[in-house]
Structure 1
Amino acid sequence: MADRFSSPFDIEAPAGAEGWQNLYSYSAVFSEERRDYEDGGFWFHDGVHWPEALTPWDAGVFEVAIASLGQYNTRHYLVPPAYGVDFRILNGYVFLSPVPAPEADIEGRVPHFMERAGFYFANWDRLYDDWLVKVRCLVQQISELDFSPLPQMEDLEVITSGAGRGSGDRLLSTYHRLLDHVLTLWQYHFEFLNLGYAAYLDFFGFCKAAFPSIPDLAIAKMVAGVDVDLFKPDDHLKSLARLAVSSGVDDRFNGASPKEVWAALATDEQGQAWIAEWDKAAEPWFNFSTGSGFYHSDKIWIQNVEVPLGYITDYIVKVKEGVDLNRPIEALHTERDRVVSEYRELLASDEDRETFDAKLGLSRTVFPYVENHNFYVEHWAHSVIWRKMRELGEVLKAAGFLAETDDVFMFRRSELFDVLFDLYAGWSVGAPSRGPSYWPKEIERRHAVHEMLRGWSPPPALGIPPEVVTEPFTVMLWGITSDSVAAWLSSGEEGEEGVLSGFAASPGLVEGPARVIFSADQISEIQDGEILVAPLTAPSWAPIFGKIKATVTDVGGMMSHAAIVCREYGLPAVTGTAFGTKTIKTGQMLRVDGNTGKVTVLD
C-alpha cells in the first residue's frame, strides 16, 4: 500500500485539455509559488458538492462559498480547533484541505467562541427568523436585477429626469451587484451552518465520551424526525397528486408533454383549480435543482416541468393504490425516544443527565437549519442566479459575443467585467467592439477543453494523508476517515471480496437488485424495489424513495444530505463506500445493511 497519494504537480492534463488552468482564477489552481505548502498537504476531492468538472463562472461561486465557510470559522466565531478549508481546482475538479488552528492558538480562541457561538445558541429562534427574512429579501433583490440590452437610443426620460447616467452604467453596475449578492448569499449561508454542525458535534462528542461503544447511527437517531423546509418540494408533489385523484383530473396525467397536460387541465374548473395549486407551490418550492445546486447545467424543476410532473404521475399511481405517501414521522419519533431513553438511563448522575438533555435540546433546535439552508441557498437562490446569468448571456449573444446563451458560463467571473466593458465601449462610441470577432472562437476552445476535463476521473485524494483523520466536519460531512483513506491508498483491494464498507447512515436491512445511476437524467430508469447505487444523491431525488428499497453512495458521511434525507424517509442507506459505482453493476443482487454500513454483492 502506498504511503501517500499522488502529488498534484505530477498529475497531467487530459489529452486535449492542455492549458486548462486559464479557465479558472489564478489563485484557485496549484502553483509553483506555493509548492512546498501544497505538495506537503492532504487534499481530498469533494464529490459531495462538486462531483463534476466546473465551468469557469460556476467555479467562481465555488470559491466564494468555501472562502465564506473559512471566514466564519476563522474570523467570526473563532472555532477553537479549526480554521477554514483551503481549496484548489485540478483539471476542473474541486479539492479541499482542512486547515487546523495552530496548537498554540486553540486555548485563546475558546472564550471568544463560547461568547460568540453562545449568543447565537441563546437567541437561535429569533436570529433564524431574521435569517429567513434576509435570505428571502436577497433572493428578491437578485430576481429584480435588470440585464436588458443596451438601447439604440436612451429614452427621453433619461434626459428629462436629469438622471445623469445611462444604460451602459446600468449594465456594468448590475453585474457588480450580482456578484455582490452572490458573496452576501454565501455569507448568510455560513452564518448558521457552522454553528449547527458545532452544536451537533458537541452533543456527538459528549455521547462518545459518556457511552464509548455507542454507534454513530444511534446518536443520529436522537435528532431524527425533524420538520424541515427541504422536504416541502416533495410534500407539495404529494399534495398535488392527491388533489389530482380527489378532484378527478388524474386521467390527464398520461405521460404526455407538460404543454399537453396543462392544455387538458385548463378545459374545466377542476383542472384550473389544480393549476392554481401548482402555481402556489411552484414559487418558491419548485426552484429545486436535480443536482447539488452548484452547476448551472442542472435542471431546475420550475424550468423543466417534465421532471416534477413525472414524479407527480408516479405518486398518482401510488395514491390510487392506497399507498401511504407520508414520511414515517411517528415511527422515527418512537425510535428516537426509545434510543434517548435507553442511553439517558445509563448516565450516572443528575448533572450528567441535565447536560445530556441540554446538548440534545440544542441539537434538535439547530438541526433543521443544517438541511434548510440547502433549499434556500443552493437551490432557490442559485436557480435565480443561473436565470439572471442567462439573461446576461442573451444580451451578449444578441451583440455577437456568444454563439449560445449558456456560453456566458465559460467566462471567469472577473473576466466578464472586461467583456461587458468591451460591449459598452463599442456601443458608447458607435464603433465595433472586439468581442464578436474574438470570443466565439475562444469560447469554442474552452468548451473543447472542458469536455476533455469532464471525461477525466479525479483521484479521491492528493498529497500526504494525516496519520489519523480527526477533524469532525471532514468525517461527518464528507465521510473521510482513517479507514477510507487507507482503502483509497490500497485502491480498495484489501477489503473483503464482494463486500463494501461505508457509513451506517440510515438503519435497516434489505435485499434487492441494484440500479446504478450517475446523474439525475437516469432517474427514470429506476424501477420499484431496486436499490439505488449512485456517486451521491441530491435532495430533489426524494420522490424516488417511495420506489427504492435502499441507497448506496460513493461519497458522504453521517451528516451528508444523502444520509440525513434517507433517515428522515425511513430508507436504509450506506454512504461513503468510495467504490460502489465502480464495483456494482445494475441488476446484481445486493444486501444493504444500514445498521452496520456493509453492502454485500450476493451474485
Structure 2
Amino acid sequence: MSTIEDTSTVIPLGEYADGDFYPGYEPRLESRPFLAEPLAPFTRADEDRFWMRDSQHFAEGITPASMALLEDAQTWGTQYGAEIVGIPPTAGMVNRIAGVHVYLGQCPITSLWQMGARAERFGAFAGPRLADFATYWAGYRAELEAAYTHFDALDVDTMDRAELHAALVDAIAFHRRGWGVHFEVMYLLAANYVALFQLTADLGLETGQIPKWLAGEETAYLQTDEGLWRLAGRARELGVAEALAEPTVEGARAALEATPGGAQWWAELQEFLAVWGQRTDETATMDRPSWAEHPATPLGTIREFLTRPEGHDFAAARREVLAERDRLVDSARAAIADDGDRRRFDEALASNRAANFVWWNEEHNFLIDRRIHLPIRRLTLAVADRLVADGVLDAREDVFFLFRHELLDLLTGGGPADCRSLVTARRDYYDHWSARGGELPPVVGTVPDAVNDPIMTELFGLTPDYFATIKGRQATATLSGFAASRGTVVGTARVVRAAQDIDQVRDGDVLVCGGTTTEWTPVFGLVSGCVTDTGGTLSHTAIIAREYGLPCVVGTGVATSTIRTGDRVRIDGDRGVVEVLG
C-alpha cells in the first residue's frame, strides 16, 4: 500500500526551503544515524512530499545540542523500530528543519515485494511478543532502569576529560538504544491496535469506541498527578499555601523558609521529586532542566491546584471510566450476531488489553521520552563547566549551542576554533527563528489523502478527515474532529501554543492547542474541556481527557487558527464537533 497524494493541493515551502541553518554547521556522517534517510533542512525537492510541523513536542524550536537528540528519536528511532518490527507500508519517519522548527514526514514503502517480505517478518516477530507482552516489556523496563542506575551513580565532578568523553559516548549510545526500544514497542502495539480497528470496522461497530474499550489502566503520569494534588492538600494542612503563591522557585522557597510548616512541606516536595522528578517538560530537549533540578513546573501546578479546594477524585473518575468501558464492550458484543465473529472480536480485544497501547502510550513516557536524555544533559553540563573554566565558553548554557560532534571534539583537543563567536551567531539565529514560530504553517508540501504509518494516523491523527480539513483551509464557526471523550461543555477558550505557557490556563478554561504531551497532564485537572489541531485515537490528549472525564475533540486541523483566547466555545465530545459561539 502506498501513500495516496493529491498533487493539486500543495502548500509551498517558500523561504523555508532556502537552506537556512545554524551558522558553522558541518554535518558529519557518524553523527547522523538513519536507516532510510537522514534529518536535514528543507530543500525544494521536499515540496513533493507531505510534512507536519511537530509543534506539540517542539513549539519553540530546537537548539544545536538538541538536534542530535531529535535525530536519535524521530529519525533513527522510528526507522529502526519500523525495520525491526517489519511494518509493511512504512520505513519510519524523518525530520526536516525550517529555521529551528521541526517538521515530520513519512518514509513510505511502495514496493509490493518489500511490503510482502516485511509482512512475513512482522508475523514472526509480533506473535510471541504479543502473546506475552508483560514479560517482553518488563525486560526492556529492567534494561532501561539498570542504565539509569549506572548513569545516576557517576561522579561527574571528579572525571577528567577522557573519562567525561567515554561516559558521554556511553550516554549517547544508551539514548539511541532507548529510542530504538521505544519505537520497536510502539510500532508493534500500533499494528496490533490497527488490526482491532480494521476488525471493528468490518463488523460494522463504532471504531471511535476502541480506546474506551481499553481505558482505565493506571499510569505513572496519573500517579504523578495524584502526588501533586496530595502536595496541594498538604500545603493547606500545613498553612503554607500563601507562601506558594510566589511565582518563582526561589521566591517560594524563601517564603516557605519564613513560614511555620514550610520546611516540612519542602521536605515532602523533595520526597516526591526523588520518585517523580527525573523528567523534563519536553522531549529530546537538552536545554530544559528536570523537575528535580528546578521544580518550577510542579510548583506552578500545585499553585493552580490550590485554587480548587475540592480537589480531584481520581478513584471516582477511574470507576466511571471502567464502568463506561464495560458497558461499551457489552454493547459492542451484543451487536455482533455471528458467534464466530464474536469470538474473533473477543480474541482481538483480549490481545489489545494484554498489549494495551492506550496504557503503554502514557506509561512509557515517564521511562523514556521525558527522561532518556537526562544522562547526556548531566554530562554535557559537566563538560560545559570545564569549558567555561578554560575560557572556551562564557557561560555553561552556551554549550546548548554546540552540536554533539563539536562537543565531543572539544573533549579530545579539537572542535571549533572560536566557540564564543559561534555561540553568539547561533543564539541570534535561534532567537530570530524561534520568534517566528507563530508564522510557520502547520503543514507544508503536497497534502495527501492518507498516510500509511500507524503512528502518524493513530497518535498524530493524520486521518483522511484531517487531510480533507487541511485541503479546505477554511475558517468556520463549526469545527469537526475525532470524538475523543464524551460530554458537552460551553466555556471560555484559552489558546496555548507551547507547554511552557500552560501556567496561563485558569480553572474552568477550555484548552485549545496544537496537541498535548505528558507535560500537559496536570492542566487536565483544571480545564473544563479540550480541543486540538492534531491527535488521534491514541493521542495523549484523548487518553487523559477520558481519564479525567472531560469533553474533548482532537484532530480538528484548524482549532488554533480559528479559535481565539476569550471566545465562547461549545464542545460536543460525543459527536466530535466544536462550535465557536463568539
TM range (shorter): 0.7 to 0.9
Q: What's the CA shift for 1:512?
A: 0.8
How far is the alpha carbon of 1:285 from its aligned partner? 0.8
**1:322 & 1:577 partners in 2: Cα distance?**
31
Give yes or no for contact 1:550–1:572 (8 Å, CA) kept in 2: yes
Q: Secondary structure at the match of 1:4?
A: strand
1:382 matched to 2:373: yes
- 2:94 and 2:316 map into 1 onto residues whose CA distance is 38
Match of 2:457 among 458, 475, 479: 475
For 1:429, the equivalent position in structure 2 comes to none
Deviation at 1:317, TM superposition (A): 4.9
Distance change in 2, residues 1:47/1:116 (3 Å): same
- Secondary structure, aligned partner of 2:447: coil
The alpha-carbon deviation at position 326 of structure 1 amounts to 4.8
Q: How does 1:404-415 map to 2 (within 5 A)?
A: 404-415=395-406
Q: Given the superposition, is the C-alpha separation of residues 30 and 384 from structure 1 closer, same or farther in structure 2, using an over 3 Å criterion?
A: closer
CA RMSD between the two structures: 2.8
Report the counterpart of residue 201 of structure 1 in structure 2.
194
Q: How far did residue 589 of structure 1 move?
A: 0.7
Deviations for 1:34-55, whole angstroms, at most 9, x for unmatched residues? Answer: x76x453333223333333211
Q: How do 1:297-312 residues align onto structure 2 when only pairs under 5 Å count?
A: 297-298=287-288, 300-312=290-302
Contact 1:515 1:585 in 2 (8 A): yes
Moved more, 514-523 or 175-184: 514-523
- CA-CA distance at 1:446 after TM superposition: 0.8
CA distance in 1, matches of 2:161, 2:503: 46
SS at match of 1:69: helix
Deviations 1:221-272 (A, max 9, x none): 11111111222211111222334445x445564524331354257x56xx66
Residues 1:294 and 1:571: Cα distance change in structure 2 (over 3 Å): farther
Q: Unaligned stretches of 5+ in structure 1?
A: 151-166, 424-433
- Contact 1:145–1:388 (Cα < 8 Å) also in 2: no
Give unpaired runs (5+ residues) of structure 2.
1-5, 29-37
1:173-212 correspondence to structure 2 within 5 Å: 173-211=166-204
**2:279 and 2:290 in contact (8 A); partners too:** yes
Q: Contact (CA 8 Å) 1:149, 1:395: kept in 2 or not?
A: no
Question: Cα distance 1:299–1:503, how it changes in 2: closer, same or farther (>3 A)?
Answer: farther
Equivalent pair of 2:50/2:445 in contact (CA under 8 Å): yes
1:169 to 153, 158, 162: 162
Answer yes or no: is the 8 Å Cα contact 1:29–1:90 preserved in 2: no
1:57 aligns with 2:27: no
Distance 1:422 1:286, change over 3 A: same
- One-letter identity of the residue aligned with 2:501: Q
Distance 1:417 1:519, change over 3 A: same
Letter in 2 for 1:240: L
State which drifts further: 45-54 or 527-536: 45-54
TM-score by length of 1: 0.85
Does the CA-based 8 Å contact 1:539-1:565 persist in structure 2? no
Paired with 1:244 and 1:387, the residues of 2 have a C-alpha distance of 31
Q: How many residues align?
A: 558
Q: Mark the CA change 1:19 to 1:118 in structure 2 (over 3 Å): closer, same or farther.
A: closer
What CA distance in whole angstroms lies between the structure 2 residues aligned with 1:53 and 1:312?
A: 28
Residue 95 of structure 1 aligns to a residue whose secondary structure is strand
Partner residue of 1:431?
A: none
Structural mapping, 1:470-549, within 5 Å:
470-490=452-472, 492-493=473-474, 497-549=476-528
In 2: Cα distance, 1:30 partner to 1:438 partner:
24
One-letter code of the match for 2:430? Answer: H
Asked if residue 593 in structure 1 is aligned to residue 581 in structure 2, the reply is no
Identity %: 28
**Alpha-carbon separation, structure 2, partners of 1:112 and 1:408:** 43
Alignment counterpart, residue 48 of structure 1, candidates 45, 50, 56: 56
* Residue 39 of structure 2 corresponds to residue 28 of structure 1: yes
Matched, 1:342 2:342: no
Query: Residue in 1 aligned with 2:15?
Result: 11
Query: Which residues of 2 match residues 191-590 of structure 1 at below 5 A?
Result: 191-211=184-204, 214=206, 216-246=207-237, 248-251=238-241, 253-256=243-246, 257-264=251-258, 274-290=265-281, 292-298=282-288, 300-319=290-309, 321=310, 324=313, 326=315, 328-367=317-356, 368-422=359-413, 438-456=418-436, 457-490=439-472, 492-493=473-474, 497-590=476-569
CA distance in 1 between partners of 2:364 and 2:11 (Å) = 35
Structure 1 residues 131 and 273, CA gap change in structure 2 (3 angstroms): farther
Aligned to 1:156: none
SS of the residue 2:373 aligns to = helix
Indicate the structure (1 or 2) with the bigger Cα radius of gyration.
Answer: 1
- 1:20 Cα deviation after fit: 3.6
Deviation at 1:120, TM superposition (A): 0.9
3-state secondary structure, aligned to 1:479: coil
